[in-house]
Amino acid sequence: MSTAEGALSVPRTGARARGEDYLTRERGFLSWALTLDHKRIGVLYLFSILAAFLLGGVLALLVRTELLTPRETIVGPDTYNKLFTLHGAVMIFLFIIPGIPAALGNFALPLMLGAKDVAFPRLNLFSYWLYVLGALFEVAAIVTGGVDTGWTFYTPYSTTTNTSVVATTLGAFILGFSSIFTGLNFIVTIHKLRPQGMTWFRMPLFLWGLYGTAVIQVLATPVLGITLLLLIVERLLGVGIFDPALGGDPVLFQHFFWFYSHPAVYIMILPAMGVISELVPTFSRKRIFGYRFIAYSSIAIAVLGFLVWGHHMFTSGQSGMASMVFSALTFSVAIPSAIKVFNWLATMYKGSIRLDTPMLYALSFILLFAIGGLTGLHLGTLATDVHLHDTYFVVAHFHYTMMGGNVMALLGGLHFWWPKMFGRMYSERWGRIAATIVFLGFNVTFLSQFLLGSLGMPRRYYNYADEFQPLHATSTYGSYLMAVGFAIAAGALIHSLFRGRPAPANPWGANSLEWHTPSPPPWDNFPETPAVEDPYDYSQLVYEPSVGGYVKKTAPAGAGS
Amino acid sequence: MNSASLFLLRSLGAAGSVEGSSFWLPAPASTLAGKVDWLFNAISLIALLFLLLIATLMGLFVWRYRARPGRPAEPAPSHNTPLEIAWSAIPLAIVCWIFWEGFQGFLELHTPPQNAYEVLVSGQKWKWLFTYPNGVVDENLHVPVSTPVRLVLSSEDVIHSFFVPDFRIKRDAVPGRFTKAWFEAPRPGEHRVYCAEYCGTSHSDMTAKVIVHPEGEFQRWLDSAADLLDRMPPAEAGAKLFVQRGCKQCHSVDGTGGIGPTLKGIFGHEQVLRDGGRARVDEDYLRESILDPQAKVVAGYDPVMPTFKGRIKDREIVALIEYVKTLR
Amino acid sequence: MSRAASDPRARPARLQHHFESLEQQSESGKLGMWIFLATEILLFGGLFCAYAVYRANHPEVFVYAHRYLDKVLGGVNTVVLLTSSLTMAWAVRCAQLGKARGMSALLALTLLGGLGFMGIKFVEYEAKWKHGLLWGKRFQPALHEEARSGQDPGPPAADREPQRSSRSPDPGVERSTVPPSARGPRGTVPAEVARQRAAYARRDEPPRNVQVFFGIYFLMTGLHALHVLAGMGAIGWVLVRGLRGAFGPAYYLPVDLVGLYWHLVDLIWIFLFPLLYLVH
Ligand code: HEA
Ligand code: HEA
Ligand code: CUA
Ligand SMILES: [Cu+2]
């Protein structure tokens, strides 16, 4: 599988020749803006989503600060409504949905698969620029006065409010297509670009996670597209599809919206679970337990996730029959999730566990996702959801699943692949400190919100009853602590770019294919065609202090050390 | 750490001051609240047990199998089908049970008893209006103690959601359709009503109270509320009745058209009738139009107004007339 | 998924660097296209669901309003689109056989078909526009009356009937026995509804909410028309490339993919036509 481009002579052995890896082979703005290389596109995505995370985080801190007191603290009610709407929209559409798949996935998928690129590099670049275009629309919406509908855009409020709904939804529409193209690309890549020997069940589990995610992206996102389109024409032309005054049905919008947005939560969690399935065995130095169950459960979650959207509408006036069916199906999704949690634990059993930064995030993930998921049971249960719906209990639930789930996995994966991406090691010490602070701050912030919610505090409230203040204040201080944690993590990573120790090819002793190529990888990914091996067999890898990483026990430093 | 931080929060005095509230739920104040709480607590317990199990195992493994020089990972099986099936089946059984209990509770929350007292709830930006069978409209919900109350909800503008935490009920008020909820409060008292569906600027101020009246007191309240005439001058009471009884729906008071003729400035003037005749608008004419609307219909309008005979008191008619007189 | 070991020196010019063989490349392209078509179907799927919901909610509206669509024009359009699908398939075949001129001619014919479809669509839309038979807010049946009779129609049907409070709930649903504060005493609504039903039975007055039908009609056919335009763009693109001699028996993937897309556009119309024009 050698390359036609003779000019590209990749280093045959160990020594990383400067200027020949994917980061340095070409220089200049255009070489990035028009790159077709999946690794570079992944990096572009990475910085974009981190910027979005920062923006969403700042908005969150403003929200929390406003909630420090029961009445006006820093902003008025209309501004507050815009703040949480933008926080939700930025976090969901700009950060978490593209998050792991587009950033880490784009970087790692072809490498882990042993391919040279994704199937459609140009489409990949196109979807990145679609992302940027969508983001610009969102920014335009913020600049032109913001939106105040909540990230759910429920009609008829969203069709009657006088804020920038059209710009926001158009942005989300475009972002949706960006997401569809990424998913399409991944499906085709996994189907058609697996090299000889890479069978389905030899794929690292992260790829299974990405595959399940891609299926949802491709099948659910178009419905979001048409929903947002309907909302836009409703606003611009007054079509009346969702307007009861014109014979329309506002609740239909909710069905459409959740038909996408529930599967979307599994777009967020599946790749996260995939990342965890890489981290846990690597840092336990033990084969993943129950590979097939984990692989199948990804697909099960992807499929079942399509059938439960109505659990967001138990109080909306949908028929009792529908509510019953949706509730029952909701619980079915809990089972594949349970399988994964237990398999990760079983993987640790009798391992040799190192608490490096990625592993700390992985353990945080397991605990926090378990809390988030288990409180999903309260919400999926009809009788209790009637009380809990649209209270802070839901807010806490979804921050535990999204932030405690997806974001922990994203950070874990980021620290895991960072050396591969940029060829630098970050400060392990500061990485661990940051992970610990984030974990603590997170729990202080959101545990208190479970209590607020079950005590009856509705969400999206600007003013609230005085008795809730202690819990709200606790939550706010927790969010500040968490922000400090993130700032430290960001500091440690940025510092490493300039001062970090050069990374070895395999700093963690993982065995999937991306670790068989130098860090950072060459333009064409692999100096030599990698031999596909069992990705979870760590027995042949030993730590070699002279390179500061792991090498094959017997073979001479083969595929780049 | 979970329970530790719960404890921490409790010592912060966060538990709230409502009497009888547990640490995480407000004091139950409806007949069904107890059942919901029981289920909530049961699920919480299950969740807590699983969380403890996971946390303990994790802590144990991290400590027991921590990487030490010279101790590689021990060989262990990489899968174990019976075990996998067990940890799929046990949660499955548990969630089946939870689902069933939740469904039962939901059915009860959904099925009001036959004899329920009915109140119409209307949400609008940003207040609740409660309409009683006798036409009284109030901004708070007054109910008799130990009586099932059925709420029929609708909305005038966007979606709102009627939420009484103490009763554990919540139901969206959707424009263009009626939704229902019911409860029975076993003890007199006052409870907070929230709007739980985001509806704009003052969403968080769209609150009201449920006032549960002791035995017998409710009827007294209702009568006095109904008797606007006892509380205010006739013209003012007439203005209220004009809204409550729905006159406003068809008759404008500002001269614009409607299903019925406007009432602005008609008093003392002549109207051309449908059959070509004329009529002078005075007390008698108004009175007749209320009790026997088809008798003299103004030209250009259909005879669609229903009679109020038997449904309106004389004093109320007088008040309405007084009100029409003020519409110059 | 056979992977012939490719000799680097023998890499065909059209083979992108990350594929191993043209076969793998074209298989990938086709799978990608099929997935894309699936997303398109789901995009329309949302609208078909909306159609189903509203047809179930307002059956009388659909029966009443579909008569205002021109079955003849719709039918002609169906034939035009079907024919263009045929020429498209033929063009792909020509490409496969390396008949470059035949392919270009057929592509041009297909393009013409698309143009014809859009032209007829335009005629239909324009008529609706003139008659005020539009969606939601823009629905003005008065214009229709005027356009039809050419004389003063008096108060138009929809205005003669006083509309209930715009937000008032559908009378069909089970409702409270308590008179709503702002909605008049018990009795008004049922009487009105009864009158309405009777009127509808006599067919001299249109049912309420006719605009719903036209809303759906314009949404579905409008989105479809956008797809036709996109398809025409794509056909134009392969036509130009074909004229420049880009395709041969070994490489005609773009023609193939555009063909798939065009068939989908056609297929969607096959569903739209009976659902909108031939309601019973
Ligand atoms: C990453 C995102 C994510 C994930 C993974 C989940 C996972 C789940 N969610 Fe969540 N959810 C959201 C994000 C997410 N959710 C968001 C964003 C909202 C609100 C949106 C809004 O309104 O703004 C929401 C709202 C929401 C609601 C609606 C609440 C309301 O508005 O009234 C419901 C109701 O059923 C629900 C249920 C569940 C369930 C049952 C799961 C399950 O998949 C969880 C499965 C996991 C476990 C169960 C834990 C692991 C298993 C074990 C530890 C073993 C033991 C298990 C058992 C005994 C069963 N979620
Ligand atoms: C991925 C999704 C996501 C994430 C991560 C978060 C993160 C946070 N959210 Fe978010 N939130 C939502 C999604 C998310 N939220 C959604 C969908 C809603 C519903 C909106 C609606 O109702 O419409 C919501 C609503 C919501 C509310 C309810 C508002 C209301 O109902 O009135 C609150 C209140 O406390 C809140 C708080 C927070 C806080 C404190 C964080 C914190 O965790 C944020 C901490 C982050 C930072 C401080 C940024 C730091 C970043 C850096 C320093 C750079 C990063 C770089 C590296 C680490 C390398 N959120
Ligand atoms: Cu009304 Cu929120
Ligand atoms: Cu959901």
ipTM: 0.86
Which atom of ligand 3 is closest in space to residue B204's alpha carbon? 2
Rounded to whole angstroms, the Cα distance separating A269 from A366 reads: 12
| CA–CA distance, A363 with A140 (Å, rounded to integer) | 39
Structure confidence at residue C140 as a pLDDT band (50, 70, 90): low
- Give pLDDT, residue C132: 67
**Nearest in space to A112 (alpha carbons), one of A211, A6, A9, A213:** A211
Distance from CA of A272 to the nearest CA of C (A): 24
Q: What is the pLDDT confidence band of residue B235, given thresholds at 50, 70 and 90?
A: confident
Q: Of A203, A197, A293, A200, which is closest to residue A535 (Cα–Cα)?
A: A203
Weakest mean pLDDT among A54-63, A302-311, B106-115, C158-167: C158-167
Chain C, nearest residue to B257 by Cα: C162
| pLDDT score at B5 | 46
Question: Which of A184, B240, A226 has the alpha carbon at shortest distance from C32?
Answer: A184
Looking at residue C267, its pLDDT comes to 92
Better-predicted residue by pLDDT, B201 or C15: B201
What's the confidence (pLDDT) of residue B247? Answer: 81
State the DSSP code for A549: E
Per-residue pLDDT for C193 more than 60? Answer: no
CA A118/CA A110 separation, integer angstroms: 6
Token output for A492? 């440690």
DSSP A263: H
**Residue B264 CB-density burial (10 A; 0-12 exposed, 13-18 middle, 19+ buried):** middle
Measured between beta carbons, the chain A residues lying within 8 angstroms of B55 are 367
Would you call C17 and A3 a contact, using CB atoms and an 8 Å cutoff?
A: yes
Between A437 and C96, residue with greater pLDDT: A437
C-alpha–C-alpha distance, residues A490 and A414, integer Å: 11
Does any CB of chain B come closer than 8 Å to the CB of residue C55? Answer: no
Average pLDDT, chain C: 74
Query: pLDDT higher for C169 or C211?
Result: C211
Answer for the pair A149, A253: CB distance below 8 angstroms, yes or no.
no
Q: What is the pLDDT of residue A331?
A: 93
**Please, which pLDDT band fits residue B47 given cuts at 50, 70 and 90?**
very high
What residues contact C180, with CB distance under 8 A and at least 6 apart?
B120, B122, B131, B154, B246
Short-list C94, C116, C108, CA closest to C248? C94
Q: Is the Cβ of C149 closer than 8 Å to some Cβ of chain B?
A: no
- Interface A–C counts its CB contacts (< 8 A) at 141
Q: Does residue B246 register a pLDDT over 60? A: yes
List of chain A residues whose C-beta atoms are within 8 Å of the C-beta of residue C46: 222-223, 225-227, 230, 256
Q: For chain C, say whether B155 makes contact (Cβ under 8 Å).
A: yes
Model confidence at C205, pLDDT cuts 50, 70, 90, reads low
Does any CB of chain C come closer than 8 Å to the CB of residue B225? no
Least confident of A433-447, C133-147, C241-255: C133-147
B67/A458 touch (CB, cutoff 8 Å), yes or no? no
Residues forming beta bridges with residue B118, ordered by sequence position: B150
Tokens describing residue A230? 């309907």
CB C47 within 8 A of CB C276: no
* Under 8 Å between Cβ of A266 and A274: no
Confidence at residue C218, expressed as pLDDT on a 0 to 100 scale: 87
Separation of CA C190 from chain center? 38
Chain A residue with Cα closest to C61: A247
- B185-221 pLDDT, tens per residue? 999 999 999 999 999 888 999 999 999 999 888 988 8
Say if A542 is an interface residue toward chain B (CB within 8 Å): no
Q: Which of B127, B205, B193 is nearest to A462 (CA)?
A: B205
- Scanning A193-319, the segments in alpha helix (DSSP H) are 205-237, 250-284, 291-304
Within 8 A of C177 by CB-CB distance, chain B residues are 118, 133
Chain C touched by B159 (CB under 8 Å): no
Residue C60 or residue A103, greater confidence: A103
Structure-block tokens of residue A110? 């072809």
Chain A residue numbers touching C212 (CB-CB < 8 A): 240-241, 246-248
The distance of A409 to chain C (nearest Cα, Å) reads 28
Three-class HEC string of chain B: CHHHHHHHHHHCCCCCCCCCCCCCCCCCCCCCHHHHHHHHHHHHHHHHHHHHHHHHHHHHHHHHCECECCECCCCCCCCCHHHHHHHHHHHHHHHHHHHHHHHHHHHHHHCCCCCCEEEEEEEECCEEEEECCCCCEECCEEEECCCEEEEEEEECCCCEEEEEHHHCEEEEECCCCCEEEEEECCCCEEEEEEECCCCCCCHHHCCEEEEEECCCHHHHHHHHHHCHHHHCCHHHHHHHHHHHCCHHHHCCCCCCCCCCCCCCCCCCCEEEECCCCEEECCHHHHHHHHHCCCCCCECCCCCCCCCCCCCCCHHHHHHHHHHHHHCC
Of B131, B247, B311, the CB nearest to C180: B131
C182 CB neighbours in chain B (<8 A) are 122, 156, 243, 246, 248-249
Q: Looking at the partner chain, which of C57, C58, C215 has a beta carbon nearest the beta carbon of A239?
A: C215
Residue C150 has pLDDT above 60, yes or no: no
Q: Is the pLDDT of residue B106 over 80?
A: yes
Q: What is residue C198's predicted lDDT score, i.e. its pLDDT?
A: 52
pTM of the model: 0.85
What are the pLDDT tens digits along chain A (561 aa)?
A: 333 333 333 333 343 444 578 888 878 788 888 888 999 999 999 999 999 999 999 999 999 999 999 989 999 999 999 999 999 999 999 999 999 999 999 999 999 998 888 999 999 999 999 999 999 999 998 888 889 999 999 988 888 888 888 899 999 999 999 999 999 999 999 999 888 888 889 899 999 999 999 999 999 999 999 999 889 888 888 777 888 777 788 888 999 999 989 999 999 999 999 999 999 999 999 899 989 989 999 899 989 989 999 999 999 888 888 999 999 999 998 999 999 999 999 999 988 899 999 999 999 999 999 999 999 999 999 999 999 999 999 999 999 999 999 999 999 999 999 999 999 999 999 999 999 999 999 999 999 999 999 999 999 999 999 999 999 999 999 999 999 999 999 999 999 999 888 989 889 988 889 898 888 898 888 877 778 888 888 888 888 888 888 888 765 444 443
Would you tell me which residues 87-126 of chain C have a C-beta closer than 8 angstroms to some C-beta of chain A? none
Q: Rounded distance, CA A97 to CA A127, Å?
A: 13
Q: How many helices (H) and strands (E) does chain C have?
A: 9, 0
Q: Is B95 in the pocket of ligand 1 (CB under 6 A)?
A: yes
Query: How many whole angstroms from B7 Cα to the centroid of ligand 3?
Result: 34
Report the nearest-CA residue for atom 41 of ligand 1.
A376
